[in-house]
Amino acid sequence: MAWVSLQRDGAIAELTIERADKLNALDRETLLELRAAVGELQREPARVVLLASAGERVFVSGADIAAMSSMSVEEARAFSQLGHETFDALEALPGIVVAAVQGAALGGGCELLLACDLAIAGEKARFGQPETNLGLIPGFGGCSRLLRRVGVGLARELVYGGRLMNAEEAQRVGLVQRVVPQAELRTAARAWAEELAARPPLALARAKVALQAAESSDARSAARVEVEAFASLFAAADTREGLTAFLEKRTPTFRGV
């Protein structure tokens, strides 16, 4: 049975985890399907990827605890490596990835969210890295990404103590960017995706590269990446269109070239 679906609608791709009967928990098979879908998006990029999950109460409950309970050290290492590879590939997509979080995003679910560019949450959503409650630690990149997103002090508090955050706090600390009423989440997420898809895709892709460099490398290296990304856009028709439209006081038409 397929646990992950990928559907395209113009410039937007909708990537959905559909394992609601298991609270959308991430086992090996689900990660492999997610990795395959991300691979398709690498080969044929979308301007915006809207990442969602099935059900009403849970975004992704985390890694599949039942599957982990019998793992050996080597199996656990391979499982963690698969999670890293999958989330790294998602993070590296050229399009902007927006997570729509309707409920609990815990453990691996929070790590999945952290691999996305932006997130919009329903008001009942909850977030956290409670792995230490099970005698574990985040295994899919959560420690490093959470630290970069919310700062070292709060990351330590959340990981060491296993504390959960509500949507309001998650927005306040920058884990998510927008919080909307629960009933409006899907509509609001789609509207945001359409808003982003209408923007110049090459500029957004270069901005993503520059922002990721600033997040993960030293200031001088990040500055060099930004200079090259900025300069490269002057070979693009979209950039000429944007500059010309501004001077002519009209709305630009961006074609992604």
Reply yes or no on whether 18 is catalytic.
no
Reply yes or no on whether 228 is catalytic.
no
Question: Which residue in 29, 56, 74, 111 is the catalytic one?
Answer: 111
Residue 110 burial (C-beta neighbours within 10 Å; 0-12, 13-18, 19+): buried
At which residue do the structure tokens 């200031």 appear? 219
Question: Which residue in 29, 75, 131, 194 is the catalytic one?
Answer: 131
Task: Output the DSSP codes for the chain.
Answer: ---EEEEEETTEEEEEE--GGGTT-B-HHHHHHHHHHHHHHHHS--SEEEEEESSSSEEE--B-HHHHTT--HHHHHHHHHHHHHHHHHHHT-SSEEEEEE-SEEETHHHHHHHTSSEEEEETT-EEE-GGGGGT----SSHHHHHHHHH-HHHHHHHHHH--EEEHHHHHHTTS-SEEE-GGGHHHHHHHHHHHHHTS-HHHHHHHHHHHHHHHHS-HHHHHHHHHHHHHHGGG-HHHHHHHHHHHTTS-------
| Catalytic residue IDs | 111, 131
